[in-house]
Structure 1
Amino acid sequence: MRLPQSLSRAFVFNLLFTLGFGVVAILVGDKNINAFDASVTRYIQGKESVEWTRVMKIFTDIGSGVPVVIITIISMTFIHYILHHRRELVLFITVLVGSEILNVVLKAIFHRERPTVHRLISESGFGFPSGHSMGAFSLYGALVFLLWKHIPVLWGRTLLILISVTLILAIGISRIYLGVHYPSDVFAGYLASGFWLMTSISVYQRFMERFHH
């Protein structure tokens, strides 16, 4: 039986995300990525200044705690009461909760310690993969998928993409800048979250196709 084109694309992306994460995990385990981590960290932290530190702390705060709760509640309210899409709300919640659970599981498996040199903020727990990076990718990735078709103009869709990509990258970079994650932690977080997001969307689309038939 031939798979629908959307599911075929999802399979390819999921394969790439899985392979990518596997490669990074192996390199981390063998410590063959240490030179890459050190080089990227040195470059990013080389930009340190009072102003940049203030900006990076803002972005890292956006990626957790109260700001994420506020953004999530606003998004859920909009999806449910304005768009009247209860099934999309289930997808949104599934992506966010599943991403958090996956991060906890992966950190428990890999037990990678965080950087100990040049920390600008305090952070506890294991570092691989980055929870902030996974959360940002899942939250803003899900919002792009859910809001895209409701934006009728090209400039609006372009703005949605730009804002989402900027926030995802800025939150990840802030974790490296502030010294609480290695670059490979952040990159692995994007890959793991990308896998979960695509899996969730694929299941949702499959369900919707069956529901409408």
Structure 2
Amino acid sequence: MKIKFEHTRAFLISLIALLAFSITALLVRAEKIVDFDYAVIDIVQSQETPFLTGIMEFFTMIGSTLAVAILSLLILFILYKVLHHRQELLLFIIVVVGSPLLNFILKEIFHRARPDLHRLIGIGGYSFPSGHAMNAFTVYGILTFLLWRHIFNRIGRSLLLFFSLFVVFMIGLSRIYLGVHYPSDIMAGYFASGCWLASSIWFYQWYMERQPHLTSRMLKRS
């Protein structure tokens, strides 16, 4: 019963995230979210100080492809060598590899130019959806899902959830602060990654639920 509930919840979350991304994409295409984007950028960038810029550069660095790759390799090592969780390892690989591929496809579809206001770092490529936001949500989201299953006390789970949400939020905020993304890029990145992550978890839970039934059928046939 618990597995079926989690299975259904993951499916519903994927649908909600897909709907949220679709709405955001439509607003971006129709240029109905421009005022919101500029208002948020003004608020965030008005807080600029050398100290805060250093903090934001740190968070944007840990959301970079290189940092995510290093973290992913470390997690893969722990799952394979230490915990021996082969099926969870496969889920992690699929989720982490699929996210940047999905981001690339979406950027090629929308071709949204980056904001050209007050940019603190140099960067190229398209803006929508944010690759940093997708990477952060995917990696820390799947890490939270995997660790949650092995942490049984409320304090540990609360700390895990708070840490993941904080890091994901700060990575997204850093991209707005540094002037390389619109807020709607960040939102869309979270929604797209949320849909991909929840869909992957849904399929994983469905597969795990089917395993005992498949094994039972094979034994009966033999």
Instruction: State the 1:46 CA deviation.
Output: 0.8
Distance (whole Å) between structure 1 residues aligned to residue 38 and residue 44 of structure 2: 10
- 2:216 maps to none
Match for residue 87 of structure 2?
A: 87
Residue in 2 aligned with 1:74? 74
Structure 2 distance, partners of 1:64, 1:9, is: 30
2:98 counterpart letter in structure 1 = G
User: In the TM superposition, what is the alpha-carbon distance from 1:155 to its structure 2 partner?
Assistant: 1.4
Structure 1 residues not aligned, in runs of 5+: none
Q: TM-score, with normalisation over the residues of structure 1?
A: 0.96
Cα shift at 1:67: 2.0
Does residue 104 of structure 2 align to residue 124 of structure 1?
A: no
Q: What amino acid is aligned across from residue 208 of structure 1 in structure 2? A: M
- Residue equivalent to 1:19: 19
Q: 1:44 is paired with a residue of what secondary structure?
A: helix
The equivalent of 1:139 in structure 2 is 139
1:167 equivalent to 2:156? Answer no
Bigger mean CA deviation after superposition, 76-85 or 121-130: 76-85
User: Is 1:196 matched with 2:216?
Assistant: no
Letter in 1 for 2:135: G
Can you give the 5+ residue segments of structure 2 that lack an aligned partner in the other structure?
214-222
Matched letter for residue 23 of structure 1: I
1:176 alignment partner in structure 2: 176
In structure 2, what is the equivalent of residue 101 of structure 1?
Answer: 101
Alpha-carbon distance in 1 for matches of 2:128, 2:174 = 16
- Find the structure with the greater CA-based Rg: 2
> How far did residue 6 of structure 1 move?
2.4
Matches of 2:149 and 2:11 in 1, distance apart?
A: 22
2:53 is equivalent to residue 53 of structure 1: yes
**Deviation, structure 1 residue 159:** 1.1
SS at match of 2:114: coil
Equivalents in 2 of 1:148, 1:155: separation in Å?
11
Determine helix, strand or coil for the equivalent of 2:47.
Answer: coil
RMSD of aligned residue pairs (Cα, Å): 1.2
Match of 1:111 in 2: 111
**Deviation of 1:210 (Å):** 1.1
**Length, aligned pairs only:** 211
CA distance in 2, matches of 1:173, 1:157: 24
Q: Which runs of 4+ in 1 moved over 2 A?
A: 3-8
d(CA) in 2 for partners of 1:55 and 1:130?
A: 19
